[in-house]
Each structure stands twice: as C-alpha cells, then as structure tokens.
Amino acid sequence: MKNLINKILFLGMLIFLSSTAFSYSISGDSFKANLEIDTINFGQEYAVISASGRAGEYGAVYADYKLMPSNDQRNSGTISGLARAINDDGVLTGANLTGVYKRNGGIISIYMLDELTNGVIHYVEGTINVVSKKIEIEVYPK
C-alpha cells in the first residue's frame, strides 16, 4: 500500500513537472555548484549519495542525496536529502532537498526545490555522474 501511495504521488509530481517543463523556461540570477561524490551507499529500497564541494556564496557544501526509485528499472524516482554549508565568514546554512530524478546510464538528471534555513528557496537542476563521481548543478534562488 505504501509503495502504491508513493507511486501515485510520484506520478502526480511527474505530470505536474512535465506539463510545466514545456511551458516554463528557467531564467534569472543563478550560480553553479560543482561537487565531488564522496560515497555511494546502496540499500534495498534506495541509494544515498554523499558529496562535498563549493557553492557560490554558501562556501563549503556537504550534501546527502537519497534516491528512491519508482520503477523496477530503477531509472527514475524521487530524491530527497539534507545539505549543510559554511561560508568563509563562518555562517552556517542548512537545506532540505526535495525533487525527482531520471537516470540514463551513469548520468542522473535531478530537478529539486531546496528549502534553506535562512528562508530562501532554490530551484536546482543538474546532473549526478556516478562514473566520474561529479555533481554539477545550477542553482536559481527564488
């Protein structure tokens, strides 16, 4: 039953995102973040990718991404996680990460909304390359 509810919620999000993807183009201020994958841990129902790097004004970033597949091919699903960042002035910022992903081979495309502890919301899209162990994202503050 829980799997059915998760699939229904995922399908709803996917329909919403796909319908708006064709009519909405991302614009405005943004910045790039490049992270290195530190570890990948697999469970029966999910995988957790831990990464670190630098992200604009936020400085050093440490993030955990939990990928929960929505199908037997394990090529799409939901992504959630937590991130912490500390800048050069010692300001600490946290974030709750939520979104969807689609995998094509070793490349995982991600589309997320991040809720930061400072009240800012970011739209984030990018790629996780599990072969090269690189995460490249574009961050759009809202």
Angle at 122 between CA 117 and CA 126, to 5 degrees: 125
Average pLDDT over the chain reads: 89
pLDDT digits (tens, 9 = 90+) for 89-99: 999 999 999 99
Using a cut of 0.85, tell me whether the model's pTM lies above it: no
The contacts of residue 75 (CB under 8 Å, 6+ apart) are 69, 102, 103, 104
Annotated domain spans of the chain: 30-141
pLDDT given for residue 42 in this prediction = 92
pLDDT given for residue 129 in this prediction = 98
